[in-house]
Amino acid sequence: MIHHRPPTPADPAARPGHPAHTGPAALRGSLTARLDDPARAWLDRALAEAAEHPGTHGPISVWELRLAEAGRRCGTEHADAVRVLILHAARADTAALDRVYRQGTADERRAVLHALPHLVPGPDALHLVEDALRTNDTRLVAAALGPYGARHLGPHDWRHAVLKCLFTGVPVDEITDLARRAHGDTELARMLGAFADERTAAGRPVPGDLYRVLALTAPPHADGTGIDGKET
């Protein structure tokens, strides 16, 4: 038997400065304020090149080469944002994003996932999200559950992605729109309960985040009290 625990506030939808949650103009402004002069000059050149030569020229486009340099030129802490800006400046379409994802490093793949909500309006790139969710790279799993995954993943795949986060230790704070999608989801509640029962039977601890998600699946009681018995 699994008991509900009161939820703790968690809504990652608003993340100032996060490359998947921040528009390109605001993202560039934030970077400009944080980069030193040489890094800022390199970024300006890289974005200008991408805008002027957005397509593929030769075996690889010039902007794809800049993706590989981002961490060295601008610092690893800024690399995700820099890569997203380059992809946006290059107006990378689904085919280009697919190529970068398939041929790139794990860091470049993560940047592609962060760039999806800025570049692909429909579900055409959902296969990249699904691929990331099949990996054991927790940073890719977290990136896959950003705004694009929240918008386009079907209920079945989304529920299993939530469970994968719990199983692999990805914080549920990484899941965009978790509260909205989990609300009233009785099937997700059933899966969470089964997962908790399996862990308990095996003598293993139940992740604390499970209770937070489980609480989100239950709508308010008709009498106005929540799952913890307190008034809402």
Written as one letter, the residue type at 209 is D
Q: Summarize pLDDT for 134-146 with one digit per residue, the tens.
A: 999 999 999 999 9
Quote the pLDDT of residue 59.
61
Quote the pLDDT of residue 60.
73
Phi, psi of 231 (to 5 degrees): -70, 140
Mean pLDDT, residues 165-178: 96
Quote the pLDDT of residue 231.
40
> In a 3-state reduction of DSSP, which class is residue 231?
strand
Q: Going by C-beta distance under 8 Å and a sequence separation of 6 or more, which residues neighbour residue 44? A: none
Q: In sequence order, what are the beta bridge partners of 216?
A: none
**pTM of the shown model:** 0.86
Pair of tokens at residue 186: 């009785």
- Average pLDDT of the chain is 88
How sure is the predictor about 121, in pLDDT bands with cuts at 50, 70 and 90?
A: very high
Q: Summarize pLDDT for 27-46 with one digit per residue, the tens.
A: 999 999 999 999 999 999 99
Mean pLDDT, residues 74-103: 96
> Any long-range contacts for 177-180 (C-beta under 8 Å, 24+ apart)?
177/13, 177/147, 177/150, 177/151, 178/10, 178/11, 178/12, 178/213, 178/216, 179/10, 179/11, 179/216
Pair of tokens at residue 228: 């913890």
Quote the pLDDT of residue 144.
98
pLDDT above 80 (res 124): yes
How sure is the predictor about 16, in pLDDT bands with cuts at 50, 70 and 90?
A: low
* Angle (nearest 5°) at CA 116 between 93 and 21: 145
Q: Going by C-beta distance under 8 Å and a sequence separation of 6 or more, which residues neighbour residue 175? A: 12, 145, 150, 161, 162, 165
pLDDT above 80 (res 53): yes
